[in-house]
Structure 1
Amino acid sequence: MSGNDAFNRSSRTLRSPPPEGRPAMEAVQGTPVAVAPAEAPDVVSTTEIQKWISEIEKRLSEICNIANDGKLNSEQKLRINTLSKSVLGGISQMAVQYQAVKQNLLLSQAKVNTLSLQNNLSTQLHELKQCMQAKVTTEEKQSFADMVRTGKSSAVVPTKSNSSIVIYPADKEKSSEDTKTLIQNLIKPETLKLHVRGMRKTKNGGVIISTDRKDDLEKLKASQQLQQSGLKVEDTTKRRPKIIILGVPTNMSEKEVFDCIFEQNVADLQPNLTRDIFMSSVKLSHKSGKKDLSTCNYILECTAEVRRMLIQQQRIFINWTSCPVRDFTLLTRCYLCHLYGHSAKYCKDTEPTCGHCGSSGHSFKECPKRAEPAKCATCLRFKKPSNHKTGDDQCPVKKNAQIRYLDSIDYEGA
């Protein structure tokens, strides 16, 4: 089959004819020849389409050769060539349309993949956000001891400070429960539209009432029912925060230590803070550490401003030593009744409560149920789920006690 054959288009399958109309034809030496369009689009054909077109060209070429060699008149031969040309033109258009559909399919698939990746990324970011929010919420409720164990932070994150007042009975013989009952009988929160966050007992028969808004406290103070009842209403006062300075040399006197803290760490940073003001803002609470060591720990009680300044430095310089500084909080748990906020020395219970089974009348060493799973004695007392050990970090009573303790300290300097 000659290279000038009208249907020998295999060499041009990578350049398909335009989709609209049919290719123009010229007669060369009595044989129709297809003329390629000047600006045909470059469309890459698949191997199978190339093979199909090549086979069709071959068959149509054989038909034309038979027609040319046979005893047909010119009109019949021209008719066969025209029909063959028409068939090949239609096939070429079909190939172009197939390639267009294929390209659209690939583009659509690429868009689907892109959208899928974006959706996966969005889901991952959402999960990461939730994880970070949960982590922040957990860290905000951690005590200092928890932070030391995990090593995540050297400073306590104060909880959201609630507005609160303390109400004491006129009769000092009354208990906190009596005071609480009297208040609840006198005050109707729905009438005053109060947002009471909680009520808890305190010493001397008092009750602390916490609210979300300070306006609620003013309503309580102005309540005529409280004023006429003889109850004494006072604002709650928060304790000063405490910090611990680790690794203070024991061969230095307390005065030398305080002088170094001021001169080496405070004087240059706070030029307006005089030595007298600083000394009146800090007080040694106590020292800790093992005896016969070259260093000890200083626990200082200080104002919120001084605490914030020293904590931000993370380390302070004392003479030739660099000492880490941390917040110091100590959540006391009574090992007689297992409640938080007091020690066994000041416990009012006369009998011990077992820290393993939660029953009263015996201690942990005497517990007859030590082979059974432990129960939280604190949660049992408050009739809460107790399927965990007493003092467990996840104990809800312990967490609430930690929050209350941190809320009782003036970390903000308000």
Structure 2
Amino acid sequence: MSPPSIKRSLGQQVNLAELGIELAACRKLPAAKEVLVVPRKSGDRKKLEEAIRAKGFAVRAPKGMSRPLLVKIYRVDKEIGKDDLGKSIWNQNPELRKLVTEGEWNEQFHPSFVKGRREFDDVIWVARVTEKVREALLKIRMLNIRFDRCRVEDYLDVSRCYKCQVWGHTTKVCTEQKETCGHCAQEHGGKVEDCPRKSTAPPKCANCARAGLNSNHAVDTFKCPAYQKAVTRYMRVVNPNI
């Protein structure tokens, strides 16, 4: 069965309303003839698996299907290392200490890597966190770190395929046969700067054009409805309780 057929058959045979299960995501996996089904509440996963198996479907629950929660902290002095970052945040932000305990902070806040340009004096720190620590940091929004005020946001690692332009997978696993231009949304490959319409036509979003939405914007703009939908889907797969 193709992924659309699987999804359609699941809808006909598995009564989610009767089971009291709300889905965070239900979409085809581009590299396989499978459908990814994620319950909004992690506690419903086992019940959903059993219900699907009872209807004769094969269920595969891969390890690590839930991605880690990540936050990014802007404009951190580049001299602050991995070990000092957590200590500085904890010691300089009394609002944080009202929301989590010191033990929770030390166990659930893990600086992972930095992003930024070498010539700058500050960097963006990306940290792996739990749901509780994430909620605390996003509630505060601005952190005191040494002599700086640093903004905190979710770090959203949403990939875009440069072959079909769809958000959520990479070119390596794309199953589309034809290439789509990232500038004009026509069926031709190559880099955006090499598009024959680059100098004569404004950008057109291939994803919004396919969905029948206003496509008069670049495919990679953060305000694009297709991108915003991909971000929401990503966050719900990362954490079904969000």
User: TM-score normalised to the size of structure 2?
Assistant: 0.70
Report the secondary structure of 1:399's partner residue. helix
Match of 1:407 in 2: 236
Question: Given residue 128 of structure 2, which amino acid in structure 1 is its aligned partner?
Answer: E
Match of 2:141 in 1: 314
Q: 1:406 to 1:322 in 2, by over 3 A?
A: same
Report the secondary structure of 1:188's partner residue. helix
1:94-173 to 2 correspondence within 5 Å?
Answer: none
Question: Does the aligned pair in 2 maintain the 1:241–1:411 contact within 8 Å?
Answer: no
Candidates 213, 233, 241, aligned match of 2:69: 241
Separation (CA, whole Å) in 1 of partners of 2:16 and 2:144: 54
Match of 1:254 in 2: 82
Note if 1:285 corresponds to 2:116.
Answer: no
Separation (CA, whole Å) in 1 of partners of 2:151 and 2:6: 49
Question: Does the aligned pair in 2 maintain the 1:354–1:360 contact within 8 Å?
Answer: yes
Match of 1:188 in 2: 12
1:307-386 to 2 correspondence within 5 Å?
Answer: 307-344=134-171, 347=174, 352-363=179-190, 364-370=192-198, 371-372=200-201, 374-380=203-209, 382=210, 384-385=212-213
Which 5+ residue runs of structure 1 have no aligned equivalent?
1-176
From the CA coordinates, give the structure whose radius of gyration is larger: 1
Q: 1:322 to 1:208 in 2, by over 3 A?
A: same
Question: Does the aligned pair in 2 maintain the 1:240–1:411 contact within 8 Å?
Answer: no
1:259-278 Cα distance to aligned partner (Å, 9 max, x none): 22223336982597244x42
Match of 1:59 in 2: none
Q: 1:315 to 1:233 in 2, by over 3 A?
A: same
Note if 1:178 corresponds to 2:2.
Answer: yes
Q: 1:284 to 1:204 in 2, by over 3 A?
A: farther
User: TM-score normalised to the size of structure 1?
Assistant: 0.45
Separation (CA, whole Å) in 2 of partners of 1:308 and 1:196: 22
Q: 1:354 to 1:187 in 2, by over 3 A?
A: closer
Which 5+ residue runs of structure 2 have no aligned equivalent?
none
Q: Which has the higher contact order (CA 8 A, sep 6+)?
A: 2
Identical amino acids, percent of aligned pairs: 21
